[in-house]
């Protein structure tokens, strides 16, 4: 049995980003977390590859998964042409680690790095993302899931984390439209894209077993 996760089914789910789940990830996060320019296949195969900015060159970036109360240590190394920072969205955190450029820290210049070190006190589904010119950098792909697992496991067979994105892409070039800074973007409402991906895939199919209990 296959659960088809098509663009049509997800288009009503929201514009910018949603993270759901908490059990296994599709990638392990290195201690050093690079922000990089990369070319990836976001759109259907008939289109070319799309240039993104991503943590470790992927969009979404590697999943970070820790136990409730665990310490999170990540050195973000900026390999982008622009300054950046990383915000740990929803985590109760010391202000110095919150990652808001111009407020809690200086932006990380190209070629520089910043060490984030904090405790994740609450179980839940969170996300991390760029927080310098976030209206552009998040829209280019700088975000990922941060899962804090409960101290008491729940009765399920499998967890799946799904990250939904809509991308504003020129279908002629397969490149992200360079029209950042509209009032809608600046209001933190996100861009209204024309292509939807799930976990960075245009038309994801998630295999499931009969009677399998999933948490999404």
Residue range 82-92, pLDDT digits in tens: 999 999 999 99
Looking at residue 17, its pLDDT comes to 39
56-60, 101-105, 161-165, 185-189: segment of lowest average pLDDT: 185-189
| 95-151 tens-digit pLDDT | 999 999 999 999 999 999 999 999 999 999 999 999 999 999 999 999 999 999 999
- Over residues 73-79, mean pLDDT: 97
Give CATH for domain 2-215: 2.60.40.420
pLDDT tens digits, residue range 139-179?
999 999 999 999 998 899 999 999 999 999 999 999 999 98
Q: How confident is the model at residue 182 (pLDDT cuts 50, 70, 90)?
A: confident
Q: List the domain boundaries for the chain.
A: 2-215
Reported as a pLDDT band with limits 50, 70 and 90, residue 30 is low
- Burial class, 154, CB count within 10 angstroms (exposed 0-12 / middle 13-18 / buried 19+): exposed
Greater model confidence, 11 or 188: 188
User: Whose structure tokens read 């042409």?
Assistant: 81
Distances (CA, A) of 4 to 10, 119, 211: 11, 37, 17
pLDDT > 90? residue 31: no
Q: Which pTM value belongs to this model?
A: 0.83
Residue 22 predicted with pLDDT over 50: no
Q: Locate the DSSP E strands across 110-212.
A: 113-119, 124-130, 143-149, 158-159, 162-167, 169-170, 175-176, 195-198, 204-207
């Amino acid at each position: 049995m296959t659960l088809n996760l098509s663009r049509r089914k997800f288009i009503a789910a929201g514009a910018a980003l949603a993270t759901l789940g908490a059990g296994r990830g599709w990638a392990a996060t290195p201690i050093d977390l690079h922000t990089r320019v990369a070319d990836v296949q976001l759109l259907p195969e008939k289109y070319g590859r799309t240039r993104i900015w991503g943590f470790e060159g992927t969009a979404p970036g590697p999943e970070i998964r820790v136990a409730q109360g665990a310490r999170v240590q990540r050195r973000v190394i900026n390999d982008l042409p622009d300054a950046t920072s990383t915000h740990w969205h929803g985590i109760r955190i010391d202000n110095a680690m919150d990652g808001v450029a111009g407020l809690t820290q200086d932006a990380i210049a190209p070629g520089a790095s910043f060490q984030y070190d904090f405790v994740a006190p609450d179980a839940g589904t969170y996300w991390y993302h760029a927080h310098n010119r976030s209206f552009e950098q998040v829209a280019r792909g700088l975000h990922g899931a941060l899962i804090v697992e409960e101290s008491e496991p729940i009765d399920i067979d499998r967890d799946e984390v799904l990250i939904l994105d809509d991308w504003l892409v020129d279908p002629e070039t397969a490149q992200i439209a360079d029209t950042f800074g509209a009032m809608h973007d600046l209001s933190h409402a996100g861009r209204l894209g024309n292509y939807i991906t799930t976990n960075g895939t245009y038309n994801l199919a998630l295999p499931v077993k009969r009677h399998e209990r999933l948490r999404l």
